[in-house]
Every structure is written in C-alpha cells, then in structure tokens.
Chains A and B, each alone.
Chain A
Amino acid sequence: MATAETGLDRRMAAGNFSWDFEPDAVRARQMDQLMRSRLANSLRHIQEQAGTVLDTLPQEIEPFLGRLEAAPVSPVAFSYYFDIVLALEREEYAEARGFWQKLIALPSFSGGLRIQELVDPRHDEAAARYVRFFIADTGSDFQIFPPRPEESVQCRALIEGAFDLMKAGDPALANEISELVREITLASGSMDPAALTFDGSSSFMMWGGILLNARRGGGVLELVQMLAHESAHNLLFGMTTEEPLTLNSEDERYQSPLRIDPRPMEGIYHATYVSARMYRCVRRLLDSGVLDASQTELAEKDSAANAQFFRGGWKVVEEHGRLTPLGRGLMDSARAAMAAVF
C-alpha cells in the first residue's frame, strides 16, 4: 500500500494524471491538491523574490500557505495570485501589495459546494473580480448582471435536482464534480435577444469555480449537461499544470463547434472535449433509466447534438491542431469513448 501511495504521490507531483476519459473522483481530488500545492509553491517563490516590496516576512504568509495546502480554498485565491504576478511584472508594487494582503487573509473553504449570487459588479469589488476573470477571453461583449431573486431560487433548485439526477444515473460524474467544483456563482445574461450572452464560464485563473447563467432556461437535464461541461473545463485546467494541450499560436482562429465566434485552438480543443463529456453523461442517464418520457425525448435530441459538436470539433482539431503528448492522449481517449458516433 505504501508503495502504491508513493507511486501515486510521485505521479501527482509531476502532474501526470491518467488520461482516462471516464470521470474519476480520486483523480479530481488529487488534482485539486496538486493545484493548491503548486499555488503554495508559487507563492513561496514570490515571497522569496518580492517579500521586500510586498512587505511581508516568510512567517507572515505561512499560516495562509498552511491553510492552502491543507484544504480547498476559494477560487478567488487563484485570481489574486495571477493579479499579483501581473502587477509585479508591471512594477505596480502597491497594487501587488494590496492583492497580496487580501490573498493571505483568505479563510479556508469548507462545507462542500458553495452556491452564491453575483452582486452588482459596478458597485462591488469582489463581484467585479468574478466578472473580470470569468469573461477574460472575449472582447467583453458579454453583459453580466446579478440574477433576479426568482431566477436564483429556480436555479438553485435545478442544481439540486441535477445532482440528484446524476447521483441516480451517473454517480461517477456527480462524485467527480463534487471534487472539482467548489463554488458556483449565479449570474444573469442580457435580456436583449440580439445580445451575445452566456450559459456558463470557467477559468484556470478561478480554479474550482464556475459561473452559471441563472436566466439560461431549460430544466434539470440541461443543467446536468452544463455542470458536465464546466467541470470538464476544470478537469482540463487541472491536467495542464506542466504542459499545454496545444502548441498553436494564440493568433490563429478556427471555427468552433460550440461558439459562433472563431476561436483559438486551445478553446476549440476544450469545446470539443467538453462536448464529449456532455454526450457521455446524457447517454449514461438514458441507459440508467432514470429519465422520464419528456426528459428521454430531450436527452436523445441533445445526445445527437453533442455528438455532432464533438465530430465537428474533432475534425478541426485533427486538421489544424498541433497537440502536445498530453493533448493527444486526452483527445484520443475522448475519441475512443465517442467511437459509436463516427
């Protein structure tokens, strides 16, 4: 047993996780531990190099680093870290100091999945941080608002229903999501039918958090797919602490299976992989017999759409993607799991 644990620890330390497509709660838990350990080591390096300008002694940040390594933390911790490094790079030391103090004051994050409502980002610094990090890949055309109370109540009920459905029909996914996702923030998109809006968002820089559009409509089955989608983004983020998925230039743009706007290859890779995870969870629910008649009808339709998204994305990735060994291994694993739709 000790040998096996040592082997696991060594693989985990190298970020060398199984590329298996199936959900795996143990892998997800190790991934979260690795991300926090990597963050703690990064912060120690920052303290060594910048302790003077950040005005802290090593012993002053150790209590936070201890909490960070011992238990899950708010996704906000990761965003502060990225802000600190970028502020140091710009030589904005007072700004970096402010982020640093907020980071090391963060408490542990216990009690399982946290669901919260976005408050008005125009008047709340924390909410503005969420918006800034969750919509970072766009020209900021997305409009994000606090959810209305009735939207929030409904969405919370749907989330609870989605977990109940997954526990009944796809417990492996429910367990993996519980390890990967620490916080769901509910927001609302624009009411303007012509506006670009969103269903959900994830970010490496907000590890463990997802943003959901509480106004997105749909029922429990749609929300299960959204959770499968966003948690799969987090899974890929956790896989890529040492190596990216693709080597394409960020200037290159290709048609994405899930977005109307042309996307960089890394984004298309993500979209393709998460489509396969959405397909997988819908098929599991269908096969488990937990869906009622109307859900079954919708599931068959969504299953076909998810398969189409995957085929379309996979073709683009195969034609234009310059994949790393990690990217190749994960995509081949997804492709093998999707063999039935080719």
Chain B
Amino acid sequence: MNTTTKVQLDWKKLLGFNLVVDDRAQGLTAATLVKLGSKIGTKQGLKIR
C-alpha cells in the first residue's frame, strides 16, 4: 500500500504538458500521445498510394 502523499505538479509549468492540461480528466497518456506523439510517414501513404 502506497502511503506517500501524491506529488502535485503544476502542469502549466511543464513543457508539453502545458498543451494538454485540459485533457487530464480524459486520460492524460492518450491525450498526450496524440498531441505530442510521433508523426510517422508510411510507405503506402507517402509513395504508394
């Protein structure tokens, strides 16, 4: 059982997370990955349409 008080971070002071601060209630990880995540070029999309 974890008895440590939860760390409180000010998300507006955190690089990247300041952009997704409103998404925390919806699941931060998913929102973060969409807005900050990777941009992948695919072969099918890019050259072999």
Contacts and interface: CB of A to CB of B under 8 A. Distances in A.
Interface of A: 35, 38-39, 41-42, 45-46, 49-50, 53, 81-82, 85-86, 88-89, 91, 93, 133-138, 142, 189, 196-206, 213, 216, 226, 229-230, 233, 237, 240-244, 250, 256, 258-261, 264, 266-267, 270-271, 274
Nearest to A87: B7
Interface residues of B, number: 36
Contact of A264 (B10, B34, B40): B34
B43 A137 contact: no
Interface string B6-45: 1111100111111100010000111111111111111111
Contacts of B31: 250
B37 A204 contact: yes
Nearest to A88: B7
B45 A259 contact: yes
A259 B34 contact: no
B3 to A, nearest CB: 11
A226 B17 CA distance: 28
Contacts of B37: 136-137, 203-205
B38 A203 contact: yes
Q: Which of B4, B6, B41 has the most CB of A within 10 A?
A: B41
14 contacts: A41-B13, A45-B10, A53-B4, A86-B28, A93-B4, A134-B38, A199-B46, A240-B19, A241-B18, A258-B41, A258-B42, A259-B42, A260-B44, A267-B39
Given A39-B15, A242-B18, A86 B38 contact: no
Contacts of B7: 49-50, 53, 88, 91, 93
Contacts of A41: 13, 15
Interface of B: 2, 4, 6-10, 13-19, 23, 28-47, 49
Contacts of B29: 86
Contact of A258 (B2, B28, B34, B45): B45
A256 B45 contact: yes
B39 A201 contact: yes
A91 B6 contact: yes
Given A45-B14, A204-B16, A258 B38 contact: no
Contacts of A138: 40
A230 B40 CA distance: 9
Contacts of A261: 45
Contacts of A39: 15
A183 to B, nearest CB: 15
Contact of B9 (A50, A133, A201, A240): A50
Contacts of A259: 40-42, 45
A35 B15 contact: yes
Nearest to B43: A197
A89 to B, nearest CB: 6
Given A45-B14, A204-B16, A270 B39 contact: yes
A42 B11 CA distance: 9
A256 B33 CA distance: 18
Given A89-B28, A198-B43, A136 B38 contact: yes
Given A46-B9, A134-B38, 7 more contacts: A49-B10, A53-B4, A85-B9, A89-B28, A134-B40, A196-B44, A241-B18
Contacts of A93: 2, 4, 7
A242 B16 CA distance: 8
Contact of A203 (B8, B13, B36, B49): B36
Contacts of B30: 250
A287 B27 CA distance: 49
B5 to A, nearest CB: 9
